[in-house]
Chain A
């Protein structure tokens, strides 16, 4: 044993899990910060739920099945705006998913090593471009072409209900392009640009975590590059693919400005996404908050609350899928 002067006079240090001194201050202080955060963010959620109660009580299930939003005649419902929200988001994901997947695969598997960091930065930059800029792009640059495409789709695939545009003849000498623009389809394209980089970033991150050994093993066994991707990269990154897509979907559901710029509001449940006019929950809020009375504001908050719940469910599912899969880590949005 040690033979130090005064060794036996030193009492063993008192060991405790409880913080003392500076640590106690730190721990309680930081806990207070956390509690503040909880109060603020949780308060927003609770407030929304609380404000939505009178609306739900007043309109009951009719709130979910009524299509019109006419506060003057006391007919308020979110059936049309909810389906509009979902159709815009689905159109967006229809474009965004394949593009995000191919871009992520290209960056992680095909791109030359030298330009890979540049491409990664570019995708991140795309995610940071303000939504109003994509709104301008979609409204003034893409929409005429999207209208052309919509007319083409109706002319050739019009027998499928979602590609039909009622009351318009695609083969007329002078087609009524007004019927093909300002639609969920056009808004979906702009929203796709917004959510694609986000989904792509998550997918790329997951792909980049694929174990190099497994990739090399596949190649050494004679797989082509696509064979390697199909048998190693995609199975490994499946969680990231689904999770990234759902995160993008969550964002697409809540997108406002691009949609407000592009669509012309209409409150009808319709499956034909190419036809002019639709409405989403967020565009409803943006359009109606100004002249809303207290009761209407409650109804708007209720609509916002429903939107929040849907987004929450989608995001939670995404988080669960990403965490459960093998490719868990590194999927921050």
Chain B
């Protein structure tokens, strides 16, 4: 107030200090609507799109009229290159070297991402396109390969034994991996000490173990030295050796980001360390742990090389993991492709589709489990006044003399610890 009065008096020493309000002018022309600041203008947009439209034409002229470059691949390559050239020229005309670099970088980066997307689509699409036909035969999912000759049509035989084998091997591997991996992660983060550092170093080192070497290890120890049969159990052990370091390390990473304040709060309330781990740390990390485990499972179910050495490939349904050889999906696909028979390759693609769907299913489950509970979260508010914090510094502090701040949203539902869910 005082400052305003001062300037007023300096500016016009005669007039009495008063504020002049602008009067509303009804005759004035309506204000021009201002476009959003971040958005490109119509001119810019025209230049961006126009460059690529021009490139399309240029590519057609070059590949179809000027040079003998048949095929879609050449067209795409030339289209991309001439797109780069046209946008570079337009950028340089408009904004000089800086604009040119920006345009080129944007085009290259987007192009790389599009190429990756195309590769993913082509992979998934190719497998499902080729594997579609076997899946239309119902027996493909309900029968095994016993009594099916190599050249028999798709109406005989199926992947049941491979799916069951995969699931049994994975289940056995999980029985060992889950408690051991997560337990080790708990040990490394919650107990610590010099020994824990050694364990962590070794576990991290062993994530480098190539999966085929894990398979070779189990083959040498379990099958050759101990005389165990090539069986589902051996395959499960190989998968375990491969997955253990991966799961332990991923769980370790997840547990390390649990806020230390939660642990301290629990301990300060008198909980034992065991209760702190069981009731605070693990529930907090549950979504992350689930993701780590499920992604580990997805990796384990698709890995062929450990299974290749250890399980043998039975053509029929085996439910007992210690009773002779057992098949699994990746191994089934591998042996069919190697056989080279057209029907076999078709079967392989069918099995690959099933495998891909299994992985997709696991992946979706992982996403659902890991998803933060967003729906309940109220609109973001300034931190100090936000009622959803457990502790409100203004209301909660008994020494604030002005008393509770006037708030309209007293009856907003209180949500517990948003730290955790976010």
A residues with CB within 8 A of B = 19, 21-23, 25-27, 30-31, 33-38, 40-42, 44-45, 47-48, 51, 98-99, 101-103, 105-107, 109-111, 119, 121-126, 128-137, 139-141, 145, 193, 196, 200, 224-227, 229-230, 250, 253-257, 261, 281-282, 285-286, 289, 297, 300-301, 304-305, 307-308, 311-312, 314-316, 319, 332-333
With a cutoff of 8 Å between Cβ atoms, the chain A residues found around residue B110 in the complex are 102, 106, 110
Q: Which 10 A-B pairs have the closest CB atoms?
A: A130-B302, A102-B112, A254-B210, A33-B183, A106-B113, A226-B105, A34-B187, A26-B274, A224-B102, A256-B305
**A37 and B112 form a contact (CB under 8 A):** no
Q: Does B8 contact A (CB under 8 A)?
A: no
> Residue on A with the closest CB to B190?
A30
User: With contacts defined as CB atoms under 8 Å apart, how many contacts are there between chain A and chain B in the complex?
Assistant: 267
Q: Which residues of A contact B199 (CB under 8 A)?
A: 34-35, 37-38
* Assembly CA distance A42 to B209 (angstroms): 11
A276 to chain B, nearest CB (A): 17
| Cross-chain contact B334 with A132 (CB below 8 angstroms) | yes
Q: A31 touches which one: B120, B191, B298, B301 (CB < 8 A)?
A: B191
Smallest CB–CB gap between A254 and chain B, Å? Answer: 3
Complex Cα–Cα for A130 and B192 (A)? 35
Chain B residue at minimum C-beta to C-beta distance from A126: B120
22 inter-chain pairs at a CB distance below 8 angstroms, sorted by A residue, are: A37-B248, A47-B217, A51-B220, A102-B108, A103-B112, A103-B113, A128-B302, A129-B124, A130-B301, A131-B302, A133-B352, A136-B126, A141-B126, A196-B116, A224-B99, A227-B102, A254-B211, A282-B212, A282-B213, A289-B219, A301-B216, A311-B208
Q: Which one of B18-26, B149-157, B353-361 contacts A?
A: B353-361
Known pairs A109-B109, A128-B298, A304-B212. 12 more at Cβ < 8 A? A27-B273, A38-B203, A102-B110, A129-B359, A130-B359, A137-B126, A137-B127, A225-B106, A256-B210, A281-B210, A300-B216, A311-B210
- In Å, the complex CA distance between A331 and B124 comes to 27
A136 proximity list for chain B (CB < 8 A): 126-127, 333, 337, 348-349, 352
A285 and B123 form a contact (CB under 8 A): no
- Whole-angstrom distance from the CB of B398 to the nearest CB of chain A? 19
With both beta carbons as reference points, the residue of chain A lying nearest to B121 in the complex is identified as A122
* Residues on the B chain within 8 Å of A256, using CB: 210-212, 304-305, 308
- Interchain CA distance A145-B119 in the complex, whole Å: 14
Q: Write out the residue numbers on chain A whose beta carbons fall within 8 Å of the beta carbon of B130.
A: 140
Tell whether, in the assembled complex, residue B241 and residue A44 are in contact, meaning their CB atoms are under 8 Å apart: yes
Given contacts A41-B203, A126-B120, A136-B349, contact A34 B183 (CB under 8 A): yes
Whether the pair A25, B122 counts as a contact (CB closer than 8 A) is no
Chain B window 256-277, contacts with chain A (Cβ cutoff 8 Å), 1 for yes, 0 for no:
0000000000000000111101
CB pair A297 B220 closer than 8 Å: yes
**A304 touching B216 by the CB < 8 A rule?**
yes
B218-259: contact bitstring with A at CB < 8 Å (1 yes, 0 no)? 011100100000000000000001001100111001000000
- Note all chain A residues with C-beta closer than 8 A to B359: 128-130
Decide: B195 and A34 in contact? CB cutoff 8 A. yes
Q: Please report the C-alpha to C-alpha distance between residue A131 and residue B191 in the assembled complex, in whole angstroms.
A: 37
B123 is contacted by which of A98, A109, A134 (Cβ under 8 Å)? Answer: A134
Question: Roughly how many angstroms separate A51 CA and B207 CA in the complex, as a whole number?
Answer: 20
Q: Which residue of B lies closest to A20 (CB)?
A: B272
A110 cross-chain contacts in B, Cβ below 8 A: 106, 109-110, 113
For residue B294, which residue of chain A has the nearest CB? A128
Chain B residues numbered 177-210 whose CB sits less than 8 Å from any CB in chain A:
179-181, 183-184, 186-188, 190-191, 195-196, 198-199, 202-210
The interface bits of chain B over 65-97 (1 if a CB of A lies within 8 angstroms of the residue's CB, else 0) are 000000001000000000000000000000000
For B113, the chain A residues whose CB sits under 8 A away are 102-103, 106-107, 110-111, 119
CB–CB A130/B187 < 8 A: no
Known: A37-B248, A44-B217. A133 touches B123 (CB 8 A): yes
B309, A286: Cβ atoms closer than 8 Å? yes
Which residues of A are found within 8 Å of B299, using beta-carbon distances?
128
Complex alpha-carbon distance, A257 and B348, angstroms: 14
Residue of B nearest to A25 (CB): B274
**Which residues of chain A come closer than 8 Å to B224, judged between CB atoms?**
297
Question: In the bound complex, how far is the Cα of B221 from the Cα of A297, in angstroms?
Answer: 11
Asked if A332 and B120 sit within 8 Å, CB to CB, the answer is no
B367 on the A face (CB < 8 A): yes
Q: Are B109 and A105 in contact (CB under 8 A)?
A: yes
Q: How far is the CB of B378 from chain A (nearest CB, A)?
A: 21
Which chain A residue lies CB-closest to B112? A102
B352:A22 contact, CB within 8 angstroms: no
A48 to B208, CA, bound (A): 13
Cα(A224)–Cα(B209), bound, Å: 44
Q: Is B214 an interface residue (CB 8 A)?
A: yes
Q: Which residues of A contact B330 (CB under 8 A)?
A: 130, 132, 257
Query: Closest Cβ of chain B: how far from A113's Cβ, in Å?
Result: 12
Task: Determine whether the beta carbon of A45 is less than 8 Å from that of B205.
Answer: yes
The answer on a CB contact under 8 Å between A286 and B191 is: no
Q: Which residue of B lies closest to A123 (CB)?
A: B116
A33 touches B180 (CB 8 A): yes
- B210 x A301 contact (CB < 8 A): no
Interfacial chain B residues near A308, Cβ < 8 Å = 208-210, 213
A121 to B291, CA, bound (A): 12
Docked pose: A82 CA to B213 CA in angstroms: 15
Tell me the nearest residue of chain A to B338, going by C-beta: A261
